[in-house]
Chain A
């Protein structure tokens, strides 16, 4: 608590997330499927036995440095889970060896979640580390939404690598609530006038598991959020949440009476299922609490955001579907709606007096800074949490009311550590992005589109004058 200001949150301490290994408990498919044509392998063994004059060491020497052909049966029964797809065996014995992407690996995910993105989340949540690989980028040139945005870097400014390694501090904390334009002080230096209602989150991230999530997942989310110093949202009337200072209840007309809201630092009104009248009702009943309003992004989102500000909302939670597409007729990517709402609030002169949370389709670490560049103060994570906890794909995950991701039974402590690991990895990756820009504070990044480049704009400029093929 900062004295007299009403800013709530822990006193200053250097933020650090402690990652610990939390291995997968459910099987993860092998990325590669190695197959040896056994007859040809036997023929090759005979050939090499004669050629190398029964020298066992030479004949049985295999090209694989990852031990795929270790064990008594050697190449006849490759240890598939060790294969990293280096292809050395195929290079040496193309007539015998085949390495393909595994069938189960290829089937992983849905239209939005690629097998690679699922693997990335699994890696991050099991290790807490930043994914590091050799060679250059291997994917598509660009893509829709976040994939069509690049972040900037600066050739000569600090803090950069220094920030990554902690010699200089890069802040990733975010403020939630409404900031006044100025403060009034009394003669004794106390802040007077309207009390500032501001919460602080260690990361610009809120956790909000899909509603279909099982109870143990909710508890794991709660434990990880409190350890991380970030907020989590749920509409579940769970007793375990009642004393939790990091819990934000989502309310609507249906569950209003079932939730104990007295301890909650912030209440979220769900406009998907309620009308705006509930905002005034809650504001009257809980004048000191922050009121957040969950709003779907559509054609009217920016007008509605201004109205909600006037209705007394401190926070607007802009939601797209779980694949990151909005509810307008064109189903545009969330980045467009977010930029529109942010820009409108800036133009209205009220941007700093309201917090924007963006959720839906935030499924990779790089989506966090990109959403912030587009105007969000924080992002909400949903299906990503379930992927980290090894939930199972049963179909498309796009629909908020029918997300086809089946949560599995988990140990709460394991689940909490997986989520802490995921956040540790994303925190470090956020710092990588900020450090490349020479930026010390993630709050400075909000709406700073000059720190980004879009594929559309760059292509227009760079390829100007080049004929387009029809």
Chain B
């Protein structure tokens, strides 16, 4: 029986790897049911191909934009005119993550790191894969709010510990591991609503990690019930700096009309990174009404925050990271052109390992490729 199971696993692993390699060749065309307006079938296949080869497609697959009809998908690059093309080695993609005079001087070799995806909403295998990749690339990934599995400890120098409203799995120990601590105030896909881990996903492991009961829905409340002002927020930042004085502090917020005010508040509270998460970001489960309708898309929030921080004279002291619908390298470049320092990506990482953006992550049966938990 065990041999059969091993054989079955081997068969399907081999088949899916073969499929992910061959589908982008377009030998069988673009599957009709694959993709949607934001992640088109072409974009998904192009991402599979880039994940397999490390190169952009050369067969005409669209790998830069989707078909949403707005935002990054309608922004294009101005022709450089007489500007000479630079040699690749002359281009520095690195960005610092701390622009303040004090604190650790961390930087990343390219302008993006991995966003929060919690243990419980994603599988341990995917979590470890992300951590390994972050280590190899010299960048970071965030735990999300679900605890810090011990298998991640070997990669702790590349792992951002997220402290979110439910405080699930947040312990002093895991906060002290982290080079960067991330406060999650809100998430772009469900702004103002907190989180909800469906009961089906709260297995014994997840319950242990989150110090809760098995197969009981877990809610991350909204907001932090100890934070109702910038002063409260400052106390929070002070607390976290007391627990881990080495760590940089990132503050993740979504994109309301006053996102610029929120950003400046975070600056004065002592944050090193303000991370804005736009409305079209990813999630393991969220009400459809929230994803589409609450808070502005990241394309509009970036310039708003950037200009305000400039006008307040503090732009050079805080790092502005953008997420929530960053799908491609082109999106990252456009986000930076609009005013961000860099981006935080998560869904693209899931697509790189076979996600089809089908949106069935929340179902009891879980993810067909084992990225999210079922």
A349 within 8 A of B: no
A131 with B287: CB separation less than 8 A: yes
Residues 138-166 of A at the B interface (beta carbon under 8 Å): 138-142, 149-158, 160-162, 164-165
Q: In the complex, what distance in Å separates the CA atom of A117 from the CA atom of B192?
A: 24
Q: In the complex, what distance in Å separates the CA atom of A141 from the CA atom of B72?
A: 9
Residues 7-23 of B at the A interface (beta carbon under 8 Å): 7-8, 11-12, 15-16, 18-20, 22-23
B32 with A98: CB separation less than 8 A: yes
B20 with A91: CB separation less than 8 A: yes
B19 with A461: CB separation less than 8 A: no
A134 with B36: CB separation less than 8 A: no
Residues 445-462 of A at the B interface (beta carbon under 8 Å): 450, 453, 455, 458-459, 461-462
- The residues of B that contact A131 with a CB separation of less than 8 Å are 287-289
A160 (CB) vs chain B CBs: closest residue: B222
Q: In the complex, what distance in Å separates the CA atom of A32 from the CA atom of B34?
A: 11
A63 (CB) vs chain B CBs: closest residue: B12
A436 with B193: CB separation less than 8 A: yes
B337 (CB) vs chain A CBs: closest residue: A466
B146 within 8 A of A: no
Q: Which of B7, B23, B191, B362 contacts A94 (CB 8 A)?
A: B23
Q: In the complex, what distance in Å separates the CA atom of A454 from the CA atom of B363?
A: 33
- Max chain B CB contacts within 10 Å: which of A85, A135, A162? A135
B288 with A432: CB separation less than 8 A: no
Q: Which of B70, B291, B362 contacts A136 (CB 8 A)?
A: B291
Q: Which of B228, B325, B365 contacts A66 (CB 8 A)?
A: B365
- The residues of A that contact B304 with a CB separation of less than 8 Å are 461-462
A57 with B4: CB separation less than 8 A: yes
Q: Which of B76, B228, B295, B338 contacts A157 (CB 8 A)?
A: B228
B292 with A155: CB separation less than 8 A: no
A94 with B28: CB separation less than 8 A: yes
Task: Return B121 CB to nearest CB of chain A, in Å.
Answer: 9
A142 (CB) vs chain B CBs: closest residue: B70
B160 within 8 A of A: no
Task: Return A412 CB to nearest CB of chain B, in Å.
Answer: 29
A139 with B38: CB separation less than 8 A: yes
Q: In the complex, what distance in Å separates the CA atom of A408 from the CA atom of B152?
A: 58
Q: In the complex, what distance in Å separates the CA atom of A435 from the CA atom of B32?
A: 38
B19 with A91: CB separation less than 8 A: yes
The majority secondary structure among interface residues of chain A is loop
A243 within 8 A of B: no
Contact with B along A349-371 (1 / 0, CB 8 A): 00000000000000001100010
Q: In the complex, what distance in Å separates the CA atom of A99 from the CA atom of B368?
A: 15
Q: Which of A52, A66, A138, A370 contacts B38 (CB 8 A)?
A: A138
- The residues of B that contact A11 with a CB separation of less than 8 Å are none
Q: Name the segment of B54-62, B125-133, B251-259 touching the other chain.
A: B251-259
B282 within 8 A of A: yes
A100 within 8 A of B: yes
A194 within 8 A of B: no
Question: Number of B residues whose C-beta is below 8 Å from A?
Answer: 98
Question: Number of A residues whose C-beta is below 8 Å from B?
Answer: 77
B96 within 8 A of A: no
Known: A366-B289, A458-B300. A140 touches B75 (CB 8 A): no
A154 with B294: CB separation less than 8 A: no
Known: A134-B285, A155-B253. A32 touches B33 (CB 8 A): yes
B219 with A57: CB separation less than 8 A: no
- The residues of B that contact A120 with a CB separation of less than 8 Å are 288
B361 within 8 A of A: yes
- The residues of B that contact A94 with a CB separation of less than 8 Å are 19, 22-23, 27-28, 31
B372 with A436: CB separation less than 8 A: no
- The residues of B that contact A48 with a CB separation of less than 8 Å are 11
- The residues of A that contact B280 with a CB separation of less than 8 Å are 136-137, 141
B73 within 8 A of A: yes
Q: In the complex, what distance in Å separates the CA atom of A158 from the CA atom of B78?
A: 45
Q: Name the segment of B105-113, B204-212, B350-358 touching the other chain.
A: B350-358
23 A–B contacts from the bound complex (CB under 8 Å): A52-B7, A58-B11, A63-B16, A90-B34, A91-B19, A91-B356, A92-B16, A94-B31, A99-B32, A130-B289, A134-B372, A135-B361, A136-B38, A140-B69, A141-B69, A141-B71, A141-B297, A156-B223, A160-B221, A164-B193, A370-B293, A436-B294, A462-B301
Give B contacts to A, CB under 8 Å. Answer: 4, 7-8, 11-12, 15-16, 18-20, 22-23, 27-28, 31-34, 36-39, 68-71, 73-76, 78, 185-186, 189, 191-194, 219, 221-224, 227-229, 232-233, 253-254, 256-257, 262, 279-297, 299-304, 324-325, 338, 347, 354-363, 365-366, 368-369, 372, 374
